[in-house]
Amino acid sequence: MTSHPDNQLLHVVHEGGSLSIAAPEGGAGSHWRLHEPGGVLSLAALEPAASEQHLLAALEAAFTWHPDHAVVRVDATIPASLRQTGSVSASTDGTSLAHRDALWQEARLWSPEVCRPRALQHVLTGALRHPRRPEKPAGTVYRRWIPWLGRTLSLRAIDPKHDLDTFHRWMNDPVVNHFWQEQGDVAAHRAYLDRVAADPHTTALVGSFDNTPFGYFEVYWAREDRISQFCDAGDFDRGWHVLIGEPAFRGRPFLTAWMPSVSHHLFLDDSRTQRVVIEPRIDNDKIIRSLARCGYALLKEFDFPHKRAVLGMLLRERFFADALWIPRHPPN
């Protein structure tokens, strides 16, 4: 598998009860023992000087390959930063314990650039009072290795100079147009992306598997969105829209990779985000069925002017406590 702690690419090899971690360009590697004595998952560094980034990669690997364990006992030097965030704590017998729910909130493992939340400053959009939003990102915002696919999923900010033709092709796909109803020429789709770029509450992203683009995502701040009146959106609630443009990536194994990953990205993007909401069209059966598998509660049906929708909601606490980045049922 690959891991990206602090935006550093590391390869992790799991063989039997051992892990080997190294950067592709060389440099000092590290070796770890990963085993389950008495049913307790334990991780031990075999070199005393293993770096903090290697420890993070080893912990990500341990929880990835042993998803049913909520805690890992760690025998290694623990940096103060991981104790401060709660990812690793001391047990009553003095050993160190890594906690799955806290580790998966370490944005530095999946976000190439980790920024502190913007200071809280309220502004008005029309009659709506909401926090001033941060500047939109550029480049890759999220990366995660998907174990059942053996591929890395990434999300990056859309770049119309390079992505317009692909976006235009996707929007004219009959399956996409059935739900998005944005079929048109290149000029229309350029204007569409320009409108999204000018909207401070929405960010356009492209999803890729191993650098092959497969879909388009719009992630937004729910407080300023049309959904707000139907869910009493809080200041930092988020939401998303999606289209999967490449037919080869429309199966369940891919959906159960990208849907939890988008949720994960939104919770990492701002630690104050407590809820993620979504409002798929009532006849989008595949998405609606998958929402429950990925932890979303389906709360009600309601009417927009252009569609009847279902309100789905995912709580931050449930996502991390129940490890919902792993599908609830094995993908097939």
> For residue 122, what are its two tokens?
């309220």
What is the 8-class DSSP label of residue 271? T
> For residue 55, what are its two tokens?
């420890």
User: What is the distance of C-alpha 291 from the center of its chain?
Assistant: 15
Q: Catalytic residue numbers?
A: 279
Alpha helices of the chain — where are they, by DSSP H? 52-65, 80-85, 100-103, 160-171, 174-180, 186-198, 228-231, 252-269, 285-293, 316-321
* Closest by Cα among 301, 300, 296, 247 to 276: 296
Rounded (5°) CA angle 153-260-66:
85
304-310: list long-range contacts, CB under 8 Å, 24+ apart.
304/226, 304/279, 307/281, 307/282, 308/281, 308/282, 309/279, 309/280, 309/281, 309/282, 310/279, 310/280, 310/282
DSSP secondary structure, 103-140, as one string: HTT-GGGT-SS--PPPP--EEEETTEEEEPPPPPP-SE
Query: What span, in angstroms and rounded, lies between the C-alpha atoms of 219 and 234?
Result: 16
Edge-to-edge order in the sheet of strand 212-221? 140-146, 151-157, 202-209, 212-221, 238-244, 275-278, 308-315, 297-303
